[in-house]
């Protein structure tokens, strides 16, 4: 299976700041997902983004599968953005299991 | 829709006890899976099912059993709990497989003493 590395592991920002989270894969990915785990532990799917760019409000994500990375952008951060962000991917569409990174812990200070 | 539901939310077991973690979804998803989350680590796949009557092992299956008698339910059984199974357990479902958008339940925090 693939290896997934996320950076940075921790990020502390002032409310209103922008941030970029990165996910690197050891092999090409045909499928990639970003999740947010809020401080209460709930995991929410943010993006299913095997390639290209998607936007949802203040969040956007870009995946360049051939270069084995994905980026999650958060603009105008709010305290509710705090939590841990995970990326997960698999190398063969529909066949390989999802492998999760160890996450980026984001703390937004009011 | 309730989405993915899990019970119980919290559980404390003694070493050697058995229990079943319940998971149900009402989205008519074919694919369901169980993950465990340990501090400082991402989620690791325990078992998964691609449909009723079909289950398979994930990355860390030892000590756990599953069955899938209906599309809606996917219980996880701990036959003889060990302290190493102290973790947070998440159930997830998706339309057709790993490569589709995963929906997670709220999790079960299990402590084995």
Instruction: Test A45 with B44 for CB contact under 8 angstroms.
Output: no
Please check whether residue B65 is in contact with residue B46, taking contact to mean a CB–CB distance below 8 angstroms.
Answer: no
Distance, in Å, from the CA atom of A106 to the CA atom of A92, rounded to the nearest integer, reads 30
Across the range A72-84, mean pLDDT stands at 97
Distance, in Å, from the CA atom of B20 to the CA atom of B69, rounded to the nearest integer, reads 15
Find where tokens 């995991």 sit: A43
Please check whether residue B110 is in contact with residue B13, taking contact to mean a CB–CB distance below 8 angstroms.
Answer: yes
B104 has a chain A CB within 8 A of its CB: yes
Average pLDDT, whole number, for chain A?
A: 91
Q: pLDDT tens digit string along B70-85?
A: 999 999 999 999 999 9
Please check whether residue B94 is in contact with residue B101, taking contact to mean a CB–CB distance below 8 angstroms.
Answer: yes
Reported as a pLDDT band with limits 50, 70 and 90, residue B3 is very high
Q: pLDDT tens digit string along B52-107?
A: 999 999 989 999 999 999 999 999 999 999 999 999 999 999 987 666 788 999 99
**Beta strand pairing call for A52-56 and A31-37:** unpaired
B106 has a chain A CB within 8 A of its CB: yes
Find where tokens 């990165």 sit: A22
What was the pLDDT predicted at A93?
52
Instruction: Test A41 with B104 for CB contact under 8 angstroms.
Output: no
């Amino acid at each position: 299976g693939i290896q997934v590395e996320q950076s940075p592991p921790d990020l502390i920002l002032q409310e209103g700041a922008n941030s970029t989270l990165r996910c690197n894969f050891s092999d090409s990915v045909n499928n990639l997902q970003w999740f947010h785990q809020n401080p209460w532990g709930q995991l929410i799917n943010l993006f299913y983004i095997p390639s290209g760019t998607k936007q949802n409000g203040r969040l956007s994500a870009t995946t360049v599968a051939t270069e084995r990375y994905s980026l999650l952008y958060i603009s105008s951060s709010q305290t509710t953005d705090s939590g841990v962000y995970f990326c997960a991917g698999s190398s063969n569409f529909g066949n390989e299991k999802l492998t999760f990174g160890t996450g980026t812990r984001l703390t937004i200070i009011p | 829709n309730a989405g993915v539901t899990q019970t119980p939310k919290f559980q404390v077991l003694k070493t050697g006890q058995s229990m079943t973690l319940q998971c149900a979804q009402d989205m008519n998803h074919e694919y369901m899976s169980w993950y465990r989350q340990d501090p400082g680590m991402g989620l690791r796949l325990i078992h998964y099912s691609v449909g009723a009557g079909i289950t398979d092992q994930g990355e860390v299956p030892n000590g756990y059993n599953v069955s899938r008698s209906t599309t809606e339910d996917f219980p996880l059984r701990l036959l003889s709990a060990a302290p190493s199974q102290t973790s947070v357990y998440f159930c997830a479902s998706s339309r057709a497989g790993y490569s589709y958008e995963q929906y997670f339940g709220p999790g079960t925090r299990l402590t084995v003493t």
